[in-house]
């Protein structure tokens, strides 16, 4: 037993301070572009969304321990959904927010419960009117090729990686992440 005894004290790994408090208290008000990079929506939209969901019963607990502020829960969820790969992993999100992995899962579940309620969807989401569709189609025709005119609801940017470099003009497929992808538009 004494052979395995540590003669020196163990050094614990120091963690950096969480970024979430700084993002919500400072960056949101002074650097909205940086806030948008992390949370993926503008500070104004974020505040409106917090107002829409903050009074929902899912954010109240029956115990003496209160939940973290709805603003923090929404920010954690949006940060997680706004990233992919390792950046969206529970470890990365929990370090960014300064909370445990279980808390990341719990806050995501709570926020999604509210956002997917039928009454919330009915009140806050709607399909565009015919006039809005026409304006979008005109914009697409003006800023793109006329063949895309009827594509009033486009999503761009999906990269599908290829197995290896294409034989013809392969260098033109090379991207910033050193892959050879095709870009799809839906």
How far is the C-alpha of 6 from the C-alpha of 11, rounded, in Å? 12
pTM score, whole prediction: 0.71
Tell me the per-residue pLDDT of 59-97, one tens digit each, with 9 for 90 and over.
998 888 889 999 999 999 999 998 887 888 999 999 999
How far is the C-alpha of 37 from the C-alpha of 22, rounded, in Å? 14
- DSSP E strands: which ranges in the chain? 156-161, 181-185
Confidence (pLDDT) at 156: 63
Confidence (pLDDT) at 155: 60
Domain boundaries, the chain: 20-124, 130-185
Report the 10 Å Cβ neighbour count for 107. Answer: 24
How far is the C-alpha of 179 from the C-alpha of 165, rounded, in Å? 8
Task: Give bridge partners of residue 183 from the DSSP assignment.
Answer: 159
Tell me the per-residue pLDDT of 37-52, one tens digit each, with 9 for 90 and over.
999 999 999 999 999 9
Start-to-end C-alpha separation, the chain: 65
The fraction of the chain above a pLDDT of 90, given in percent, is 51
Q: Which residue has the tokens 């979008």?
A: 136
Report the 10 Å Cβ neighbour count for 140. Answer: 19
- Look at 29-43, 107-121, 161-175 and tell me which has the smallest mean pLDDT: 161-175
């Amino acid at each position: 037993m004494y052979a395995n005894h540590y003669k020196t004290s163990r050094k614990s790994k120091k963690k950096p301070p969480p970024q979430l408090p700084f993002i919500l208290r400072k960056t949101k008000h002074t650097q909205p572009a940086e806030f948008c990079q992390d949370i993926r929506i503008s500070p104004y939209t974020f505040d409106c969304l917090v107002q829409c969901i903050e009074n929902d019963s899912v954010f109240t607990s029956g115990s003496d321990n209160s939940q973290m502020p709805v603003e923090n829960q929404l920010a954690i969820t949006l940060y997680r959904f706004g990233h992919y790969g390792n950046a969206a992993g529970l470890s990365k999100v929990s370090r960014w927010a300064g909370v445990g992995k279980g808390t990341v899962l719990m806050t995501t579940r709570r926020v999604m419960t509210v956002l997917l309620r039928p009454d919330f969807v009915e009140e806050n989401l709607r399909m565009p009117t015919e006039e809005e569709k026409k304006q979008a189609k005109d914009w697409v025709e003006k800023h793109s090729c006329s063949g895309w005119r009827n594509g009033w609801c486009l999503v761009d940017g999906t990269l599908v990686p290829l197995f290896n470099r294409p034989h013809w003009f392969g260098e033109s497929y090379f991207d910033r992440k050193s892959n050879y992808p095709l870009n799809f538009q839906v």
